[in-house]
Amino acid sequence: MCMKRLFAILTVCLACLCARAQENVLEKEQKARLKALLGQLDRIIECNDRYENLRLAKIDSVRTRMCAASKDSSEYYCDSLFTLFYGFQSDSALFYSKKGLEMSQLHNNQLMCAKSTVNRAKIYQMTGNYHACLTLLNKIDRNSLPIDFLVNMLSIYNGVYDALTSTTIDAELQSRYHNQAISYKDSILALDLDNIFVKCDRLLIDGDINSAVSLLQSFCDKLELTDPLTGPAAYALSDVYRRQNLPLQERIYLAESAISDIVNGNKEYMSLTRLAMLLYEDSDLKRAYTYTNKAIDDATYCRARLRIEEIAPMVSIINMAYYSQMKMNYLYLAIGIAVVFLMAAIMFWMVLYLRKQKMKLSQANMELSLSQVLEQEANRRTKEASSIKNTYITRLMLECIARIERLESYRKGLNRKALSHEFDALGRELKSNAVVEQEWKSFYNVFDNTFLSLFPTFVSDLNKLLRPDVLQFEIVKGVLSPELRIYALIRLGIDSTEEIASLLRYSRSTIYAYRSRTRLKAKVPSTFEDDVKRIFSI
């Protein structure tokens, strides 16, 4: 028993889930259909002049035929023009209903006279002149009318009493008007059982909403959107869905009704106004604003006073909401533009700041590169000075040792001569300058060889500093000339004339003369000796 209950519960739950899923799919399809219809309606409103011109072209065509036809058929053309102007231009429709009545009376055509009177009553009904409408209808002899004419006349009675029922505030009058409207509906159905709209109204009065939906739905499904009957049929169906609280279906059929009315050039309608109000509730203010303004323009063009009165409050509400939204949009736009300009200013400042920082960084890099170059130059000079110092120290130590050995050998030779009493030879030896000259020669050889080993390209580098038209320096048998020795000492950092003169055993004036003569040969005399100091060693 428990298993059966559990199975039943599971079955019910599964059925509910399936139904819910089916409802979701159906709702998505309906939303997609509504979106497509609203898009189509937007496009139709944009090219509204095209449909208006088509209706005007039909009217011109009938007028042309009317002018060419005989006067005997003029009332029929007046009826055709009334039909074309009805719901398009009420004053022109009223004109042709009156003219048709005149032509019918002139030709004693009682049937067309009754039809013209009914047409005039329809205009009075549409414009809200209910008393004049009923007065005209009550004058018509119903016994001589065909069934279709009679149904048309009863439909006007029904429309008038429906309108009076909805507009009166007196409960007693409202009940009386309502009962009269029901009576006329029953009379219409007694004559025309297939009248869809009246039959649907009767079903709604009886509370049979489902049958009314089924009847209107099947009727609408057979019609194309461009069919003139689609407008009133879809509007009636939307009203039934409104009573059933089905907002999506209501909006769908209001959109279909509006499309049909505009495509057929009809300017007396309520579907677009009702749809605009619903879209206003959906916060689609742009469409609501466009649709209400289109509806009020059409009602004004048609001179449908009742429609203008019905639409005017909605136009005011929707326009205020739309303009409020536009103001907010402009405010947001202004804020957005201000933010964009602020961001642009910040970005511009950042670009300038980054450019300035980049310039500082570039300058810092240049300074760093320069410092690195200076550091490298200092390291090179330090290394060079260290190398020169070590080389010269080593060479001079070796030279000193060799000199000590030579002096020791010279002393021993003098001592032997003294012990051997070779005083004459000893005297000549002591008076001779040969040993000193030999030592200086040895010193210069050591200096030259050491310097050239440290600066093997010194002479060629020095010649590059001289003008090409002067005599270039050369090394003869590995020995430096006096000028080369002077600038070799300058390269080693000894630039004092006195020190150079002492080392080279020349007078100061001689050293000065050598330096001046050589400097004049230089390409840039003012910086010549500084350029010499910058000659690289190995």
What CATH number should be reported for the domain holding residue 511? Answer: 1.10.10
* 258 shares a domain with 299: yes
* 289 shares a domain with 217: yes
* 274 shares a domain with 226: yes
**Where residue 112 falls among pLDDT bands split at 50, 70, 90?**
confident
For the segment 435-457, the average pLDDT, to the nearest whole number, is 78
* 520 shares a domain with 483: yes
Instruction: With respect to residue 524, please indicate whether it lies within any of the assigned structural domains.
Output: yes
The parent domain of residue 117 ranges over: 69-137
| Of the residues 117, 137, 157, the one at which a domain ends | 137
**Where residue 410 falls among pLDDT bands split at 50, 70, 90?**
low
| Of the residues 288, 303, 318, the one at which a domain ends | 303
Instruction: With respect to residue 83, please indicate whether it lies within any of the assigned structural domains.
Output: yes
* 123 shares a domain with 44: no
pLDDT at 43: 92
CA distances from 411 to 34, 415, 427, 430, 432 (A): 132, 6, 14, 11, 14
Instruction: With respect to residue 282, please indicate whether it lies within any of the assigned structural domains.
Output: yes
| Of the residues 137, 153, 177, the one at which a domain ends | 137
Q: Which of 67, 63, 123, 73 is nearest to 97 (CA)?
A: 123
* 45 shares a domain with 78: no
pLDDT tens, residue by residue, 151-181: 888 888 888 888 888 888 888 888 888 888 8
Instruction: With respect to residue 290, please indicate whether it lies within any of the assigned structural domains.
Output: yes
* 502 shares a domain with 466: yes
Residue 22: pLDDT above 70? Answer: no
* 278 shares a domain with 219: yes
Instruction: With respect to residue 404, please indicate whether it lies within any of the assigned structural domains.
Output: no
For the segment 13-27, the average pLDDT, to the nearest whole number, is 64
pLDDT tens, residue by residue, 52-77: 888 888 888 888 888 777 666 677 78
* 40 shares a domain with 84: no
DSSP bridge partners of 522? 466
CA distance 78 to 62: 9
Instruction: With respect to residue 467, please indicate whether it lies within any of the assigned structural domains.
Output: yes
Instruction: With respect to residue 181, please indicate whether it lies within any of the assigned structural domains.
Output: no
* 293 shares a domain with 218: yes
pLDDT tens, residue by residue, 248-292: 998 999 999 999 989 888 888 888 888 988 888 888 888 888 888
* 246 shares a domain with 296: yes
For the segment 102-124, the average pLDDT, to the nearest whole number, is 84
Q: Which residue stretches of 420-536 are H helix?
A: 423-431, 434-454, 458-464, 482-491, 497-504, 508-520, 528-533
pLDDT at 17: 61
Instruction: With respect to residue 93, please indicate whether it lies within any of the assigned structural domains.
Output: yes
Number of other CB atoms surrounding residue 221 within 10 Å = 7
Residue 144: pLDDT above 60? Answer: yes
Q: Which of 138, 134, 141 is nearest to 159 (CA)?
A: 134
Count of structural domains, the chain: 3
pLDDT at 3: 63
